[in-house]
Structure 1
Amino acid sequence: MLVGVLSDIHANRIALDAVLDDMPDVDAMVCAGDVVGYNPWPAECVDEMRSHDVPTVMGNHDRAVVTETGFGGNGMADAGVRYALDVLDDDRIEWLAGLPESRYCFDGRVRIVHGHPDDPNRYTYPSLFSARLLGEEDVLIMGHTHVQAHERFDEGIVLNPGSVGQPRDGEPTAAYALVDLEAMTVSERRVEYDIESVIEEIEAVGLPEATGARLRKGR
Structure 2
Amino acid sequence: MRIGLLADLHANREALEACLKALARAGCTQYVFLGDLVGYGADPGWVVDTVRAHVEAGAVAVQGNHDAAIEDPGASRMHGQAQAAIEWTRAQLDPSQRAFLRDLPLQVRHEDRLYVHANAWDPPGWGYIGNPLAAHRSLSATTQWLTFCGHVHDPALYFTGAVPGEAAHFQPLYGVPIPLLPSRRWLAIVGACGQPRDGNPAAACAWLDTARRQLAFLRVPYDHERAAARIRAAGLPDALAQRLIDGG
Opposite residue 244 of structure 2, the aligned amino acid is: L
Q: Give the C-alpha shift of residue 71 in structure 1.
A: 6.9
Residues 61 and 18 of structure 1, relative CA distance in 2, 3 Å threshold: same
Distance (whole Å) between structure 2 residues aligned to residue 146 and residue 131 of structure 1: 19
Identify unmatched segments of 5+ residues in structure 2: 161-182
TM-score, normalisation: structure 1 = 0.92
Q: Give the C-alpha shift of residue 132 in structure 1.
A: 6.2
Q: Give the C-alpha shift of residue 17 in structure 1.
A: 0.5
2:221 maps to which of 192, 198, 202: 192
Distance (whole Å) between structure 1 residues aligned to residue 32 and residue 193 of structure 2: 13
Show the counterpart of 1:133. 139
Show the counterpart of 1:10. 10
CA RMSD of aligned residues (A): 1.8
Per-residue CA distance 1:100-152 (angstroms, 9 max, x = gap):
111112xx221111111012310002534348615332210011011112234
Distance (whole Å) between structure 2 residues aligned to residue 115 and residue 71 of structure 1: 12
Q: Secondary structure at the match of 2:96?
A: helix
- Aligned pairs for 1:27-38 (under 5 A) are 27-38=29-40
1:101 maps to which of 106, 112, 118: 106
Per-residue CA distance 1:153-181 (angstroms, 9 max, x = gap):
43332111100000112211100001112
Q: Secondary structure at the match of 1:52?
A: helix
Q: Secondary structure at the match of 2:152?
A: coil
2:62 maps to which of 24, 37, 57: 57
Distance (whole Å) between structure 2 residues aligned to residue 132 and residue 206 of structure 1: 38
Are the equivalent residues in 1 in contact too, given 2:19–2:220 (CA < 8 A)?
yes
Identify unmatched segments of 5+ residues in structure 1: none
Opposite residue 187 of structure 1, the aligned amino acid is: A
Show the counterpart of 2:167. none
Show the counterpart of 2:45. 43
Q: Count residues with an aligned counterpart.
A: 217
Q: Give the C-alpha shift of residue 59 in structure 1.
A: 0.4
Residues 217 and 145 of structure 1, relative CA distance in 2, 3 Å threshold: same
Q: Secondary structure at the match of 1:189?
A: strand
Distance (whole Å) between structure 1 residues aligned to residue 4 and residue 138 of structure 2: 24
Show the counterpart of 2:152. 145
TM-score, normalisation: structure 2 = 0.82
Indicate whether 1:209 and 2:216 are aligned: no
Show the counterpart of 2:171. none
Show the counterpart of 1:124. 129
Are the equivalent residues in 2 in contact too, given 1:2–1:179 (CA < 8 A)?
yes
Opposite residue 4 of structure 1, the aligned amino acid is: G
2:118 maps to which of 115, 125, 128: 115
Per-residue CA distance 1:27-80 (angstroms, 9 max, x = gap):
311011000000001111111111111311110000111214487751221121
Are the equivalent residues in 2 in contact too, given 1:32–1:113 (CA < 8 A)?
yes
